[in-house]
Chain A
Amino acid sequence: MKKGAACLLALLLALSPLTGMADQCLHARKRGNDFSAALPAHEPVDETYYTQAVLLGDSLCWTLDTCDTIPTIDLRFVIGQSPVGARGFHNIEWGEEKITMVEYVRRVQPRVLFVMLGSNGLDYDTSASVLRDYHALLDELLNAAPDTELVLISVPPVRENITVKKYAYFTNGRVEAFNTGLLALAESHGVYYLDIYAPFLNAQGDNADHLYIATDGIHMTPAGADLFAAQLAAHAPLLEGEMKE
């Protein structure tokens, strides 16, 4: 019996270095969840949920910080941050040190990690290019925190009548292409995808008014931050012990 167990262990150890892809499949399988669609809605989680969560983002998260919309979450955002920056730029404070977002996740090992990046990139580059960078980031995050529940958050819609004046190709067509790719990326890596694009569009109707997206056409208004928080609470992956009937 002991010999059998030892052989099994040796086999597992031998197979363990086999690329990130195997890890990702294991990651997906061990949870046995469906990652092919956006997270479904449930009863909103309360603020205690976020004491175990980190939200990594760019300036889209600035409104959440200013309005203190989700006070219990560990919000780490950097203005101008892209998926490339999250891997390579040392811009997160850790005591006296400055570390990358990936390194921060490695050290904190949060139970849940929400990521909202991509907007910086889509303003000047194709969705395919930004997704390639995101893919590399995702691989690093999964290696850094293999037991963390990872949630990729879509990029919200833009008010393209404003954005195209400054960024000629920053349209909702490009945002939609990116979000479609992000869902596929989530599925292939066995992580969750949270759609906030559709709720923002639905809430805004024709996406032309200014209720949820600010005067620059990109960032969230305080009402947009509230809508974002409501979506997060209603779709956050339920953790063990919090599963509802």
Chain B
Amino acid sequence: MKRKLFCLLALCALLTLTACARESKPLPACEELAKAVVSGQAFTPDLYELKATKLQKLLDVTEADYTDAYATVDASHATAEAVLVLTAPDSAGAQQLAEKLEAYRLDTLAQYQGYRPEEAPKLNAAKVYTHGLQCVLVIAPDQDQAKADCEALWNR
């Protein structure tokens, strides 16, 4: 009985350590992740790196809400294509950023349904991916590829 209990405790300790190790794996820089996603897509040629102030206005966040960020969008708005990556200071902040990104997706969807309805499928398929404190929204032609590119960097 004692042996079984000891084994169970040891297993728990091992799992905890593994989880800690995964948590402590450093996150990629937002710019690196965004550029990896962009390189895997057949994006519009007019992707433009947003200024920090513009990103803050777009997502209704402040500088204190993230520790790192990188965003690139189709500045001509001929398409809705965009890659927005942010790292939060803590897990509550990450949850909030994920919600902000989803709100951006929904707002953009509402806007493009009247303006350019052919972009709606891309916006419907778009997802917010989170890993630890990092949150990513990709509005892209190939969502599976975008997810794979994010995971490749998160798990390297």
Contacts and interface: CB of A to CB of B under 8 A. Distances in A.
Interface of A: 59, 62-63, 66-68, 79-80, 210, 214-216, 218-222, 224-225
Contacts of B54: 66, 68
A215 B115 contact: no
Given A215-B76, A216-B78, A225-B75, A80 B115 contact: yes
25 contacts: A59-B115, A63-B75, A66-B48, A66-B54, A66-B73, A66-B75, A66-B77, A68-B51, A79-B111, A79-B115, A210-B45, A214-B46, A214-B76, A214-B78, A215-B76, A215-B79, A216-B78, A219-B76, A219-B78, A221-B45, A221-B46, A221-B76, A222-B46, A222-B75, A222-B76
Contact residue range for chain B?
A: 10 to 19
In this complex, the member of B54, B78, B79, B116 whose beta carbon has the largest number of chain A beta carbons within 10 angstroms is: B78
Interface in B111-134: 111, 114-116
Nearest to A211: B45
B120 to A, nearest CB: 15
A94 to B, nearest CB: 19
Contacts of A216: 76, 78, 116
Contacts of A222: 46, 48, 75-76
Interface in B31-83: 44-46, 48, 50-51, 53-54, 73-79
B66 to A, nearest CB: 19
A215 B77 contact: no
A82 to B, nearest CB: 14
Nearest to B74: A214
A215 B45 CA distance: 8
Question: Nearest 7 A-B pairs (CB), nearest first?
Answer: A214-B76, A216-B78, A214-B78, A219-B76, A66-B75, A222-B75, A215-B78
Contacts of A80: 114-115
A63 B76 CA distance: 5
A102 B82 CA distance: 33
B154 to A, nearest CB: 28
